[in-house]
Chains A and B, each alone.
Chain A
Amino acid sequence: MRRRAIATAALLALAALAIVAAASAKTDRAAAPSAAASADARLISCGKTVTMGMLAPVTGPAASLGKLQTDWAKFFVASHNRNKKLKHKLRIQYGDTVLGGPGGTAEAVKAVQSFGSNVLGTVGPAGSNEVRATTAPLKNAGLAFVSGSATNTELSTDGTRKGYFFRTVPPDSAQGTSVANFIVKTLKFKRVYIIDDQEAYSTGLADTVQAKLRSAGVTVGRDGVSQQQSDFSSLIAKIARDTQLVYLPWQLPPKGKAFGDQLRAAGKGSIQLMGSDGLFDDAFASLGNVYASSFPTSGKHAVVKSFKKAHGGDPEFFGAPSYVAAQVIGGAIDRACKDGKASRAEVRAQVRKTNLKKTVLGLNVSFNANGDIKGGQFGIWKSNAAGTWNPLG
């Protein structure tokens, strides 16, 4: 009996070793310079339909964010494909990154590996950690990747993704500075509590704001909650009643609303709330008299209006940068495909040359050498009692 168990265990171990060896061999081949070079320069016939990738959390805990991003990207592709002047149509191949799921960033890497050779460039990934995890496979494949939500400052400044990674949202350093300046110079608050949501986007932004506030002499409390958490009552009990503002650099607006509701239920409704661009949404605004930082978009922009019309009246601003990311990749593919053929290297080169005027973000979009938007900035917004956002200069 015991001998059989040992034999079975040995067989299982051998099988595991064989699988690991096979997987490593596959990875090595994928990483080989010659293979990378050929993927980079291989010309693909553009034909009638050209494929762009989209790396987003379609399932998993952050699927609600992924839906906003895919809705906006699909909206761009639909409007692009209505343009009869273009010789080809775009289609999106989705890669599900399962952001926040138990598999960690491995799912994002698998999603990249699922892309076929026909994918010419990709929107996403959504999260900063996912960007880090997928950098090697995306670079090896020669793909340009344009994220609509990865804001960690170092992603564009550490030099490891130069020429491949671009983003249509300004980095945390830009947003953190705007937020801290507003709290210190405009609101003149002295007691602030910051709660991050334990994701790279949120902790990076929270760190930036915390450091700037402390250096300005503000007393700052700090805590974190998981994105899966919906019960904030214990955390709220911990926040002193004389706190003037709670800053929530979160990605999920319904969580922000739940926090606000629970804050009021705890009799602490006098504490002001401020969210980051992730909370710049009708759900958070519906709390009334809350602040948020965001790019200077406007509900009056024609694209926002038609998106709202197509999606039951909800502008879902969080996904808007993914619309622009799809616009960047789609535009680069269109230009690269002018001669009927395109390579991933050509698409990357065209992404670098992007120059979009009056985008849905309220910004002109072109990129600096690091892949960040030139002159990217954040404004501060406040919702009125009816839950409508208004810019504060």
Chain B
Amino acid sequence: MVAILWSKFWDLTVSGVTLGSVYALIALGYSMVYGILKLLNFAHGDVYMIGAFVGWFALHALGGPLSPSAAGWVVVALMFVAAMVACGALGVVIERFAYRPLRNAPRIAPLISALGVSFFLQNTALLVFGASFRDYDTFHLIGAKTYNYGNVYLSVPQLLTILSAIALCVALTVLVARTKIGKAMRATSFDREAASMMGIDVDRVIASTFFIGSALAGAAGVMFGLVFGQLYHFMGFLAGLKGFTAAVIGGIGSIPGAMLGGLLVGLAESYSTGYLPQGSTFQNLYVFALLILIILIRPSGILGRADVKKV
């Protein structure tokens, strides 16, 4: 019995870490925006979906998976760049037109606006890209090689996803901790009015936050396409929900928390599928039960800090 459970363990772990890497990148976008605006950007999952499509179009503009005009790795890198730039720009546009006019409105208004943007993006994607599934055909693009170490099987796209996610998370951490814009972000997150009085261009900082968060979602979309193969207009809904869950579990507003939350959700999904009865059928039940459990024990998430209110 133990041998059977153990035989699956590494496969499930690799699968969970891969999926968790995608969720972590989505969760980062939720967390960054919440940290600065205290806004739950429910359109974020759909930005991720647009990123996956932009990657697909970039791939086909570069000759497609069967006859790429450059080496597979170069094409993949350009897909990432295209998706990140396009989604970053989309994030800025969404902030400018859907959230900025409501910045001083009651908190429910931007929330409704976010839901509206989500449906708008979903239906626009259906209208523009059509209802058919699209496939990155990663096997033709970068080969089907799978590395095997004992019980661990790791495919090239999985390796690429995990390494890219780590690189992007490190880059974001350095950006927030060590750069001028990062310092401005932290200041705006701490006290928007005070930051403004200190000469920080708050609008620019918020737009930059949306750009970075949305670019990460775009990267996550391309990663998903590379590993799991297919995209369609509705793919952002559940992924967005899981990314949001990851952000809340990790502690919304916390960058390391978002990464940790993403990994936890990915692993929870994977282990529940592999080990629990009818795990695949009810994986969402298990994942969201975990969310409830963690929130009951730590209402601010694992690495989140409780808001201190001045009275």
Interface residues of A (CB under 8 A from B): 58-61, 63-64, 66-67, 195, 198, 223-226, 228-238, 252, 254-255, 257-258, 261-262, 264-267, 283
| B126 pairs with A63, CB closer than 8 A | yes
B164 close to A (CB within 8 Å): no
Query: With A254-B230, A266-B153 in contact, do A230 and B19 touch (Cβ < 8 Å)?
Result: no
Closest to A65 in B: B131
Q: Which residues of A contact B230 (CB under 8 A)?
A: 230, 254-255, 257-258
A-B CB contact pairs (8 Å), 14 listed: A64-B232, A224-B278, A226-B284, A231-B19, A233-B18, A233-B158, A233-B227, A234-B271, A236-B11, A237-B274, A254-B232, A264-B146, A265-B158, A266-B155
Additional A-B contacts beyond A64-B132, A231-B228, A267-B148 (13; CB < 8 A): A59-B126, A223-B279, A229-B238, A230-B228, A230-B229, A234-B12, A234-B271, A234-B279, A237-B270, A262-B228, A265-B144, A265-B155, A265-B157
| B234 pairs with A61, CB closer than 8 A | yes
CB distance from A65 to the nearest CB of B (A): 8
| B131 pairs with A266, CB closer than 8 A | no
| A238 pairs with B153, CB closer than 8 A | no
B46 close to A (CB within 8 Å): no
The interface-forming segment of B70-78, B133-141, B170-178 is B133-141
Q: Which residues of B contact A234 (CB under 8 A)?
A: 12, 15-16, 19, 269-271, 273-274, 279-280, 283
| A265 pairs with B16, CB closer than 8 A | no
Chain B binding surface SS class: helix
Complex-state Cα separation, A45 to B44, whole angstroms = 51
Closest to A57 in B: B131
| B8 pairs with A238, CB closer than 8 A | yes
Q: Which residues of B contact A232 (CB under 8 A)?
A: 228
What total count of A-B pairs have CB within 8 Å?
123
| A238 pairs with B133, CB closer than 8 A | no
One of B12, B155, B237, B238 near A237 (C-beta < 8 A): B12
Of the four ranges (under 10, 10 to 19, 20 to 34, 35 or more), the interface on chain B belongs to: 35 or more
Query: With A233-B270, A238-B273 in contact, do A67 and B280 touch (Cβ < 8 Å)?
Result: no
One of B130, B138, B153, B237 near A67 (C-beta < 8 A): B130
One of B18, B126, B133, B284 near A254 (C-beta < 8 A): B133
| A265 pairs with B8, CB closer than 8 A | no
Closest to B8 in A: A237
Q: Which residues of A contact B158 (CB under 8 A)?
A: 233, 265
Q: Which residues of B contact A195 (CB under 8 A)?
A: 280
